[in-house]
């Protein structure tokens, strides 16, 4: 994992939910323009726990529960940010973006450009992603590619609590709209089930993680596996399985999709010669294709075999648990992708 995720002498292990809440609280203490709003972010502390404790410390003026009207509070966040505030607004499920996308994409993302940079729009839009717990097709999508595709917004997707805190602090301090996408299965919420490896040591003091800097979370020499959020954990598990077969896999955690650290990915693939991209978002027109195109455009000759992608099939997410689990990316599917790559044997397979 990243250097900060390594267990420290005075280890303080936090879930991603607690790390996000801590980062927000620390920024609210030093900057009175920071406030939070959204559905159930107040006394409940957020359905996914990421605003827990904020209402008790800062009160209802700065931690505002809203009606179920995403268009209204996205518009309010954009207006407040344009007037000098730093709102953090929660879209409870990213799947609901459709009812408020005009406020996000035609106002929040564009106002800085339309004003020639004279109007800053420092909004953090935090939203849950991902499935795996049988919540159906309207509550289980990732949609990373949807937001990353559209200019004017930065997009982050942490895989562990250390990165979650540093990226949240950086997001709040940024003068541009930031879409902060947290995966439900990494939040540390017992009722959802959670990935234990996402809960790591988190320093108590405030810190930032710069956007556009991917992390090599496992070094290897035979194949590069690239992903974000939950996909990083699937990649690490696959790397363990590949190691048992004598294959050394390098795992790259992108951390942010916009800006995208193409240099780190290219350097890794230049070393290994093989590339697998893992994404819980849909297969077509998404992150997997963008990463592979980045390598092909720069220097196709670094590839020893055709790249592979492990992504969600282009279907609505099933409610049935067996069907959903069948469709989700997994360590086993990453192994299959490697074997498929090996079976095809490129022109320079060694």
* CATH number, domain 215-343, options 3.40.30.10, 3.40.640.10, 3.40.50.920, 4.10.490.10: 3.40.50.920
To the nearest whole number, what is the mean pLDDT of the chain?
94
Tell me the backbone φ, ψ of residue 326, rounded to 5 degrees: -65, -35
Nearest to 4 by CA among 230, 181, 160: 160
Per-residue pLDDT reduced to its tens digit, 102-159: 999 999 999 999 999 999 999 999 999 999 888 999 999 999 999 999 999 999 999 9
Where does the pLDDT of residue 343 fall: very low under 50, low under 70, confident under 90, or very high at 90 and above?
Answer: confident
Where does the pLDDT of residue 346 fall: very low under 50, low under 70, confident under 90, or very high at 90 and above?
Answer: low
Nearest to 71 by CA among 108, 101, 106: 101
- The residues with which 129 forms a beta bridge, in sequence order, are 183
Q: Which residue has the higher pLDDT, 33 or 6?
A: 33
CATH number listed for the domain at residues 13-201: 3.40.50.970
CA-CA distance, 30 to 28, in Å (whole number)?
A: 6
Nearest to 91 by CA among 197, 3, 191, 179: 179
350 pLDDT higher than 70 = no
Which of 22, 27, 70, 290 is flagged as catalytic?
70
Long-range Cβ contact pairs of 103-109 (< 8 A, separation 24 or more): 103/71, 103/74, 103/75, 103/78, 104/74, 104/153, 104/177, 105/150, 105/152, 105/153, 107/75, 107/78, 108/74, 108/77, 108/78, 108/81, 108/152, 108/153, 108/177, 109/150, 109/151, 109/152, 109/153, 109/177
139 is catalytic: yes
Range list of H helices, 83-227? 101, 111-114, 144-149, 161-173
6 pLDDT higher than 60 = no
**Domain boundaries along the sequence of the chain:** 13-201, 215-343
Q: Which residue has the higher pLDDT, 90 or 342?
A: 90
Maximum distance among all Cα pairs of the chain, rounded to whole angstroms: 63
Same fold, 13-201 and 215-343: yes
pLDDT score recorded for residue 349: 53
Which of 27, 90, 139, 290 is flagged as catalytic?
139
Distance of CA 288 to the CA centre of its chain: 14
Mean pLDDT confidence for 45-64: 96
Mean pLDDT confidence for 248-262: 98
Q: How many CB atoms are located within 10 Å of the residue 271 CB?
A: 15
205 is catalytic: no
Instruction: Report residue 244 as tokens.
Output: 């048992």
3 pLDDT higher than 70 = no
Mean pLDDT confidence for 317-346: 91
Instruction: Report residue 122 as tokens.
Output: 């420092």
Please give the share of the chain, as a percent, with pLDDT higher than 90.
91
Per-residue pLDDT reduced to its tens digit, 22-47: 999 999 999 999 999 999 999 999 99
**Helices H, strands E: what count in the chain?**
12, 14
pLDDT score recorded for residue 11: 87
**List of residues 6+ apart from 62 with CB closer than 8 A:** 28, 34, 35, 36, 54
Written as one string, the DSSP assignment of 48-78 is TSTTTTHHHHH-TTTEEE--S-HHHHHHHHH
Coil vs helix vs strand at 276: strand
Give yes or no for a contact between 150 and 109, defined as CB atoms under 8 angstroms apart: yes
């Amino acid at each position: 994992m990243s250097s900060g995720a390594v267990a420290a002498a005075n280890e303080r292990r936090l879930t991603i939910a607690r790390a996000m809440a801590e980062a927000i609280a620390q920024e609210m203490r030093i900057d009175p323009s920071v406030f939070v709003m959204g559905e159930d972010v107040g006394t409940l502390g957020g359905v996914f726990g990421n605003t827990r404790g904020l209402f008790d410390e800062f009160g209802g003026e700065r931690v505002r529960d809203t009606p179920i009207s995403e268009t209204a509070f996205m518009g309010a966040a954009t207006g407040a940010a344009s007037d000098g505030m730093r709102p953090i607004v929660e879209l409870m499920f990213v799947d609901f973006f459709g009812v408020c996308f005009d406020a996000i994409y035609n106002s929040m993302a564009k106002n800085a450009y339309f004003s020639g940079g004279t109007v800053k729009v420092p909004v953090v839009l935090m939203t849950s992603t991902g499935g795996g717990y049988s919540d159906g097709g309207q509550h289980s999508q990732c949609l990373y590619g949807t937001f990353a595709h559209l200019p004017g917004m930065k997009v982050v997707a942490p895989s562990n609590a250390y990165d979650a805190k540093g990226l949240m602090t950086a997001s709040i301090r940024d003068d541009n709209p930031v879409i902060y996408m947290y995966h439900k299965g990494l939040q540390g919420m017992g009722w959802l089930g959670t990935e234990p490896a996402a809960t790591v040591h988190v320093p108590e003091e405030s810190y930032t993680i710069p956007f556009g800097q991917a992390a090599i979370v496992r070094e290897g020499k035979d194949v590069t596996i690239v992903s974000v959020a939950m996909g990083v954990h699937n990649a690490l598990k696959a790397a363990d399985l590949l190691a048992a077969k004598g294959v050394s896999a390098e795992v790259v955690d992108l951390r942010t999709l916009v800006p995208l650290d193409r240099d780190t990915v290219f350097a890794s693939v230049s070393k290994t010669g093989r590339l697998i991209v893992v994404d819980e978002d849909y297969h077509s027109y998404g992150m997997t294709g963008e990463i592979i195109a980045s390598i092909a455009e720069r220097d196709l000759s670094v590839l020893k075999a055709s790249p592979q992608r492990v992504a969600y099939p282009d279907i609505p997410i099933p409610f049935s648990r067996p069907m959903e689990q069948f469709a989700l990316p997994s360590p086993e599917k990453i192994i299959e992708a490697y074997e498929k790559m090996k079976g095809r044997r490129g022109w320079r397979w060694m």
